[in-house]
Amino acid sequence: MFASASKAQAGYLSEVLAGYRGVPLSGFMPIRTEIDPRAAMAEASAHGRVGVPVIQATAQPLKFAVWTPDSPMVSGPFGAEVPAALDYFEPEILIVPLLSFDRRGGRLGYGGGFYDRTLEMLRAKRATLAIGFAFAGQEVAAAPLEETDQPLDLIVTETGVIEIG
């Protein structure tokens, strides 16, 4: 269903997610030139709930709507697609898009703070794994960090897995 490039990009992500079969997770719908996690999301959806983020309002945590490979999608805020039918749930794993990352788990996003607020909220309730997913070329020596930034636990690129810590 998804291009072979997507499968190649998401190969390591699929391997990581295989260790968490059945754990509810959220991926993301790629925008602009983002790496594409949909092949790994499709594989994970055969074993448990998979969702995508939905922006409800500025300065609010994200909500997550159930996604399947055949979900009808509509355009959402910031150009990312969201399911036409919004069935919300709380994931325990977030696959996080980013502009850049460093090997300490720092990430630079698009500046809205949505993932930081969301991870803070989810981590206050239960252990929540944040997996950064990006191209290897997006790595920087040190991502600019703010006090409110939530760290990534793991980073996956098209060339491998980077353990944090």
Binding site residues for ATP, as ranges? 107-115
The token duo for 124 is 């206050």
Q: Are 157 and 11 in contact (CB under 8 A)?
A: no
DSSP states of 71-118 as a string? --EEE-GGG-EEESS--EE--SEEEE--SEE-TTS-EE-SSS-HHHHH
Residue 156's beta-bridge partner residues? 133, 161
| Bind-site residues | 29, 34, 107-115
Q: Are 95 and 62 in contact (CB under 8 A)?
A: no
CA-nearest of 88, 93, 69 to 20 is 93
| Bind-site residues for substrate | 29, 34
